[in-house]
Structure 1
Amino acid sequence: MLHPKYIRYIKQALLFACVWLLFGFVYGILEKGILGRMDYYPSTQNRYDFMTSLAFASFGGFVMGFLHGWVEVSWLGKKFTKSPLWVKVVLKVHFYLVFIVLFLVLLTFGVNSNRFEEHLLSKTVLHSVEMFINSFAFWSVVVYIAFGLIMAMLFSELSSYLGGNVFLNFLFGKYHTPKREGRIFMFLDMKSSTTIAEELGHSKYFELLKSCYADMSSPILETSGEIYQYVGDEVVVTWPEKLGLYNNNCIACFYKISEALEKKRNRYKKEFNFFPTFKAGYHIGLVTTGEIGVLKKEIIYTGDVLNTASRIQAECNAYGTQILISDALADQLQRQEQSYRFVPMDYLKLRGKKEQIQLVTIKLDEGNQPKISSI
């Protein structure tokens, strides 16, 4: 299977591609409306054909949008994580415009070569391209592309604020009507957070949380997780049942997060004089998922599984362990060829429930112990 990180990159790049495809298609339609029955461009005298122009504009927009999206999500977007939104948009638009102008020139070579039925470097094609670049029509296209860039960047930022999957679910109305689905939830909480906040102060503590959440991003992506909520020093991560159970992704997520933080131990010690450790509680079950709200819309999950996962996480301190899962989840996880063992603990009695839940912790086999600090 393709790595979940690259699957996410492709999905986000395709969103850019669709935005650009739309702008390319609209440009082709507007161009036809302006030129009417004319079969040439007045400013350059180049031959014009509606279907050819529409195809090139749409296809070129899609390709450029995908390249734009891939560069944005895999590289450039990470360079401006600490910049205000307007700074991100302005700097990125200028950066991309340079390359898009070059792309537009190359696209013009291709279009005119096709229209004149001559090779790319023929005098006729070179002259037509030169006339187009020196015309108002060319720079009007550049302005149109700049506007498209701004729209694509705003879509991208909106997607990052909501979460990629959440944005797409809103866009296509997946949960406009509530649905029942099986999900796994992990409640991940920082150990001794109240004491740490008092020692560091509110501003420094907030920077600590930002650093932790940033370092958790890759492990969550690698294990196909989705961040449902940030609640102070607690992160709620969720998986559809199939993705969370595949290769024990949900459990692997916790250990990958721990390893990612461990690699930054010296940085945390230097910046905060403290190394954060986390505890996690897991549960699996049915939830109702749907859009809610009028002034502010959200996609939320409702069901006992969330309360139960939160309660399980709260029991970690009592048992002196970093991870506790419900027996319902343990029964469905893959147990063959794994580097850890499931160890049954006591039963948890939930308020208002007759049935008890058996808690299960996980012990890593000798030789497979990641460098995880004890709580």
Structure 2
Amino acid sequence: MLSYKTKRKSRKILSFGIIWTLLGWLFLFIEQTALIDAKASQQEAIEVTPKIFLFASLAVFLVGMVVGYLELTFLNKLFIRKPFYKKVLFKLFFYLILFSLIMLVLYPIASSIELGVHLFSATIWQRYMDFLFSTVHLSTLVQLSASLFISLIYAEISDNLGHGVLQNFIIGKYHRPKEEHRIFLFTDMKDSTAIAEKLGTKKYFSFLRDYYDCLEDPIIKFGGDVYQYIGDEIVITWAYKTGIKENNCLRTFFEMKKALQANTEFFLENYGYIPSFKGGMHYGEVTTGEIGALKKEIVFSGDVLNTTARIQDACNTYNSDLLLSQELAKLLDFDKGFVFSEIGEVSLKGKNESLTLVKVQKINPK
């Protein structure tokens, strides 16, 4: 079984492969149409036969996957603090070198397939040398650069909108509102106002950014998605089945706590404070759909969000880091390393009906 993090990463890498393949087909169509209209072809250009088309499609798809892999595992982390235009320039330089090496491999293979001669024959390599100093080579580099730029734009927009949001916009998943069951976790940083006053606006912003970065992996690890950042609050959501499975929603909360503990020294050295948080969790039916005119978003609408926020507010009253609704607690496995303590019926602020809350603690293994 692949982990949620691996699945998410694989989907992102696959999106690069698909984008590069579709753009490759588009550029190939334009190029071949131009050659037909001109009633001529350059000697260095490879004639597109069914075999060449299949080879080119597979090659472009794999190149896209390689780019996606490099982006997600290396280059994104390397340039994470750089503005977008600098990211593109640095990456363009890096990939132009990479693409030149790739063409050193792929062009001779394609020529060998087209001409039906041995890969290491003098004819193939003379043709490759001619190709290097031809307009066909320049055109290929421009096409690869365009594919790179578009895929980087797609990845950047996707990251800014959130996991799966851009894809859902494109396929129109929520063009018409849908009802679905989801689990929500509202977290709130403790003593955030006092920390902000001590650090000042600019340093507090850096503090928040590092805080969010620290919590990213635990959220992804157990199949969660960040719905919103609201100041120092994070709203996390799971599809119902994903959140319930193996107590993923609970495991996320305590893994987030663990991640902060592991970075205690970092926060103390850089800010003099160790961030901590409390959370409220609930589940229920929401209506999900696209909303907005000047700025479109995919939003969740339903009483479950308001109720979850009120449960989180009650953490201070009952001296608990994590409170759940009894409805959600009944769906979770009590024997998976957690202790559930029922508080009883509680009147939540702004709610007419009372709700039974449950306090949750993790059993520390000996």
- The more displaced of 107-116 and 347-356 is 347-356
| Structure 2 unmatched runs, 5+ | none
Q: Identify if the C-alpha distance between structure 1 residues 153 and 47 changes in structure 2 by more than 3 Å, giving closer, same or farther.
A: closer
* Aligned residue runs from structure 1 range 308-347, under 5 A: 308-336=307-335, 338-347=336-345
d(CA) in 1 for partners of 2:37 and 2:106? 24
Identity %: 37
Give 2:105's aligned residue: 106
Q: Is the 8 A contact 2:229 2:235 kept in 1?
A: yes
TM-score (norm 1): 0.93
Question: Is 1:361 equivalent to 2:356 in the alignment?
Answer: no
Give 1:292's aligned residue: 291
d(CA) in 1 for partners of 2:37 and 2:53? 15
2:7 alignment partner AA: I
Q: Deviations over 1:37-56 (max 9, x none)?
A: 89984243x66234344333
- Offset, 1:352: 6.7
Q: Deviations over 1:85-118 (max 9, x none)?
A: 1111111111112112211221111111111222
- Offset, 1:353: 5.1
| Structure 1 unmatched runs, 5+ | 369-375
d(CA) in 2 for partners of 1:69 and 1:146? 14
| SS class of match (1:164) | coil
* Aligned residue runs from structure 1 range 243-254, under 5 A: 243-254=242-253
Q: Identify if the C-alpha distance between structure 1 residues 74 and 33 changes in structure 2 by more than 3 Å, giving closer, same or farther.
A: same
d(CA) in 1 for partners of 2:38 and 2:118? 25
- Offset, 1:35: 1.9
1:217 alignment partner AA: E
| SS class of match (1:316) | coil
- The more displaced of 14-23 and 218-227 is 14-23
d(CA) in 1 for partners of 2:160 and 2:82? 14
When the two chains are superposed, the root-mean-square deviation of aligned CA atoms in Å is 1.7
- Offset, 1:365: 2.3
d(CA) in 1 for partners of 2:349 and 2:258? 35
| SS class of match (2:317) | helix
1:361 alignment partner AA: K
Q: Identify if the C-alpha distance between structure 1 residues 324 and 352 changes in structure 2 by more than 3 Å, giving closer, same or farther.
A: closer
| SS class of match (1:346) | strand
Q: Identify if the C-alpha distance between structure 1 residues 365 and 57 changes in structure 2 by more than 3 Å, giving closer, same or farther.
A: same
d(CA) in 1 for partners of 2:232 and 2:39? 64
Q: Identify if the C-alpha distance between structure 1 residues 63 and 40 changes in structure 2 by more than 3 Å, giving closer, same or farther.
A: farther
d(CA) in 2 for partners of 1:276 and 1:37? 65
Give 1:269's aligned residue: 268
Give 1:96's aligned residue: 95
d(CA) in 2 for partners of 1:17 and 1:78? 20
The alignment covers a number of residue pairs equal to 366
d(CA) in 2 for partners of 1:20 and 1:366? 48
TM-score (norm 2): 0.96
Q: Is the 8 A contact 1:40 1:48 kept in 2?
A: no
d(CA) in 2 for partners of 1:171 and 1:5? 23
d(CA) in 2 for partners of 1:38 and 1:59? 28
2:211 alignment partner AA: C
